[in-house]
Amino acid sequence: MSETIPSCGTVRPIPAFLIAGTHSGVGKTTVTLGLMAALRARGLKVQPFKVGPDFIDPSHHTAVCGRPSRNLDPFMMGEDGVRRSFCAALAGADVAVVEGVMGLYDGMDGTEVASSAEVAKILDLPVLLVINVHGMSRSAAAMEKGFAEFDRGVRLAGTVLNQVGSERHLAMLKSCLDKPVFAALPREREMEMKSRHLGLVMGFEKEHDVAALAALLEKHAAIDEILKLRSLACPAKEEKADAKKIVRIGIAEDEAFCFYYYENLRELERGGADLVFFSPLDDDLPDVDGLYIGGGYPELHAARLENAPARREIKRASEDGMPIYGECGGLMYLGGAIELETGTFKMVGALPGTTIMTKRLMALGYVQAEAVGQNPVAGLGKTLRGHEFHYSRFDSDRDARFAYRLCRGKGIQDGRDGLVEHNTIGGYLHAHFYSFSVDRFIESCKNYRRT
């Protein structure tokens, strides 16, 4: 999952654009993956991005493009962070494809914050608007006009028409639309992607019919015209070189733990961490100075996790004072047990509490936390920003200690998150490391190595 990114330097302008939708469910992801596949089939190196905090779509981007997809989220990363990540990723790429989130103008709390439109403006990206034209003709022109004029700061380059019924239907649409039509996709149900939630398979678990996706877009999209679209927003700056490796940090990565922001791993490397990837399902705990256990689906692999040797080894490491940081699925794993309808399964037991899986969504949205308790990750008073999304609750012991007070979000209990025991911390917060420094975590790992 990790790679060494070459210096950004004076990055040449390359084709770059953002694919947005009028709303969720219009086929934005299918269009995005199809274009990525078609561009790659032409021999181009495609750098993928995803607007927002999502982990799922980036995994599919990565599977199709063969390059790690990066999240672009102004709330979590700040405008400078969005520019920095975008610029750094362009090194060695021939084209950049950004998938939007929800509808073009849909942001946090009904604002433009963290919307596709905000990212398009920050990066001066031309926008391709996906419209599902099933059952409409001239009304599509009204939609196009409204989206084009709602915010003149957004460069709406043209449209991608999805679910076109026939050549006659397409001719009617083109006769009334003002902007160029960059693609017109026919109704092909086998190419549709189902609406998704936490139960979805990740990109590495699904074999995409890349050839079919590429053929669909090559046939029905004006790819040569799309490749003329540009962003001139990338600053000519050198990316900060990685520090000398001073600690080894284990990264849990397998079917149970697979939710990581790519930039989080890069921030650890930039700070001097040598990342050691291992599977809590199959591997022993490697020789490391600290652990980062991300989110995922531990509940789907509870029996294997219970019987795997890493469970007891991580418990001993926690009791020994090793810095361990867990997010959502990591929190669930670090607790005492996971309760499912099929039974209760023992987990690491490093944190005092039990996870109970629920049938309803318990939390979804952006999180802003303030560190109010001692912990190995963030110093007192530091602000962390990220996201939470889970179908579970964590019942912690009455005397549990929490490191974070939430200004926004739900957390574990009563607006608190970041349960701490020894030098182990776990919470529902998926934090983005651009919102705070990783230096404290790396220093904690360094101090542990010395003991």
- Per residue in 103-129, pLDDT (tens digit) is 999 999 999 999 999 999 999 999 999
The helix (H) or strand (E) run that includes residue 291 is strand 290-293
pLDDT digits (tens, 9 = 90+) for 260-289: 999 999 999 999 999 999 999 999 999 999
12: confidence class by pLDDT, cuts 50, 70, 90: low
Distance of alpha carbon 271 from alpha carbon 264, whole angstroms: 11
Predicted confidence at residue 209, as pLDDT, reads 79
Query: Helix, strand, or coil here: 449?
Result: helix
> Alpha helices of 151-209 — where are they, by DSSP H?
167-176
On the question of pLDDT at 199 being above 90, the answer is no
pLDDT digits (tens, 9 = 90+) for 378-428: 999 999 999 999 999 999 999 999 999 999 999 999 999 999 999 999 999
Contact 316, 331 (CB under 8 A): no
Ramachandran category for residue 21: left, alpha or beta (phi over 0 → left; psi -120 to 50 → alpha): beta
> Alpha helices of 96-179 — where are they, by DSSP H?
116-122, 139-150, 167-176
Reply yes or no on whether 65 is catalytic: no
Give the chain's radius of gyration (CA, Å): 23
Domain-wise residue ranges, the chain: 16-226, 247-450
Mean pLDDT of all residues belonging to the chain: 92
The helix (H) or strand (E) run that includes residue 295 is strand 295-296
Predicted confidence at residue 54, as pLDDT, reads 96
Contact 76, 53 (CB under 8 A): yes
Contact 182, 221 (CB under 8 A): yes
Name the CATH code of domain 247-450 (choices 3.30.230.10, 3.40.50.970, 3.90.45.10, 3.40.50.880).
Answer: 3.40.50.880
User: In the chain, count of helices (H) and strands (E)?
Assistant: 13, 23
Q: Which residue has the tokens 């050691």?
A: 276
From 168, 196, 177, select the one nearest 139 (Cα to Cα): 177
Same fold, 16-226 and 247-450: yes
Predicted confidence at residue 200, as pLDDT, reads 52
Predicted confidence at residue 195, as pLDDT, reads 40
On the question of pLDDT at 235 being above 70, the answer is no
Contact 27, 130 (CB under 8 A): yes
Q: Which residue has the tokens 């490491």?
A: 317
Mean pLDDT along residues 130-153: 97
On the question of pLDDT at 196 being above 50, the answer is no
CA 445 to chain centre: 26
Distance of alpha carbon 52 from alpha carbon 75, whole angstroms: 9
On the question of pLDDT at 259 being above 80, the answer is yes
Query: Helix, strand, or coil here: 419?
Result: strand
Distance of alpha carbon 411 from alpha carbon 389, whole angstroms: 10
Predicted confidence at residue 206, as pLDDT, reads 55
List 8, 234, 328, 445, catalytic entry: 328
Distance of alpha carbon 107 from alpha carbon 362, whole angstroms: 21
pLDDT digits (tens, 9 = 90+) for 282-306: 999 999 999 999 999 999 999 999 9
CATH 3.40.50.300 fits 16-226, yes or no: yes
Contact 162, 133 (CB under 8 A): yes
Contact 394, 417 (CB under 8 A): no
Distance of alpha carbon 209 from alpha carbon 218, whole angstroms: 14
Give percent of the chain above pLDDT 70.
91
Residues 171, 150, 173: CA angle, nearest 5 degrees? 5
Distance of alpha carbon 43 from alpha carbon 214, whole angstroms: 12
The model carries a pTM of 0.92
On the question of pLDDT at 309 being above 70, the answer is yes
Residue 394 main-chain phi, psi, to 5 deg: -115, 110
Distance of alpha carbon 25 from alpha carbon 284, whole angstroms: 42
Predicted confidence at residue 201, as pLDDT, reads 56
344: confidence class by pLDDT, cuts 50, 70, 90: very high
Predicted confidence at residue 239, as pLDDT, reads 64
pLDDT digits (tens, 9 = 90+) for 55-77: 999 999 999 999 999 999 999 99
Distance of alpha carbon 180 from alpha carbon 302, whole angstroms: 51
198: confidence class by pLDDT, cuts 50, 70, 90: very low
